[in-house]
Structure 1
Amino acid sequence: MECRNQRAKVRAERIKKNGGSHTSAEWKSLLASSPTCAVCGRSWAVIPPRPDPRYKHPWTKGHKTPIYHGGSDDISNIQAECYECNFRKNAGALSRAPVGPAKSVQQLKMEINMPVAQERISRRFSFVLNNGTEVFPVQMKRRETGTIAFRISAGGTVGNTLEASEEVDEETMVRKVLEEGFAVRCKSLDGNTNGLYKHGHRSVREVRRNAT
């Protein structure tokens, strides 16, 4: 709690220094006209529930130019972001001092979207594990050839090896995993959980199909 309070104080000081303000009515009006996350473009309905059940909505108040990069708290610098994009963007921000000139909105958006592009996650469906962790199919890059594809396997004792796997596109992956029972390499959005999973696997609680 003390650490959280300290972060809040640091953030409040930066907001005061940067200037700008907005009203609750301005934020509600902006949110009402924002059906999707301003960063990743997903609609609110397809974003997984927040891990903390105290928070009922997937949206958060984000700054186009982050506070720690000199952005103001004016409504013109505010946008509706999903909690995943906002948390990824702000991870460690309060512990870093700004270096060099403030970055443009386009530069920041490129940096924010970079981890998602590098992970190459498919959101067509996900597996919810018994411990509540949600993992998504993820494309893998083969070092020898640079090939990037979804890696699926029919299973078996050597199903986790490259030799026993198939490298396929997203449509093939979805069909073989959901209709033919193949396993696929998956990863959680925070990167802490990864492995080969399939419907019916002992660690999989449910399959969550998302709108395309």
Structure 2
Amino acid sequence: MTEPVALEWISGDGWLVLAEPDDDPSGALRASALHKLGVNRGFAFLGLNETTGDAEMADMEDLGAPTGYLINVVTEDDDTIISNLRDVGLIMLDPSADPRRMLDALIGATSLAMRDAYLRGAVIYAEGLCASLFGACWRSAGGGLHEGLGWITDAQLLFGIGDQAALRAAARPTFETRPRTVALGVPSGSALALGPSGQIEVWGPRPISVTLGPGKISNPANRSN
């Protein structure tokens, strides 16, 4: 990262991998996520309908993932979702899904089951706007600011932004209403990977940018030396 900052996220034995793969035609980011996968663990793809996920699951399987299966988080009942996620090692969110609809579908039993799998060592992998849902807040394509899943405390994830000045400009409207926000810019071709015991990894050729809201800057513990 371009600026030292103490990130906080939910504890667990798994990895949370949030990627912007537009400049990653070789699939290196997805392959790196698979390297964190435990042996003989299943692969679940979370989608919003029955026609999605074939290309993504085939790509992951070509990279070495176990055979994946689709979970329709809109139509499946809670007990089925909980059962299907209980022993998986990799959970991937549909990168083409509308983030607002995906968030609505995740809240509740699916989010709890996903979190339980993560606590027991699963890799949670998301790309682009759906990856931004794991912050405390996220901004839609239309500019609206919304509550996120809150897996990363006080964070807003902005994908496709690597330049520090561009990140500050993009985060400024958020800082006006949420001054304690930590804005993270994940450029194309890069990923932020958060693991057990406070491990932070940045994958890809470009660093992740960080800028702090005024409420974070005013806290001496968050100042850079």
Work out whether the TM-score is over 0.5: no
TM-score by length of 2: 0.25
Q: Which has the larger radius of gyration?
A: 1
TM-score by length of 1: 0.26
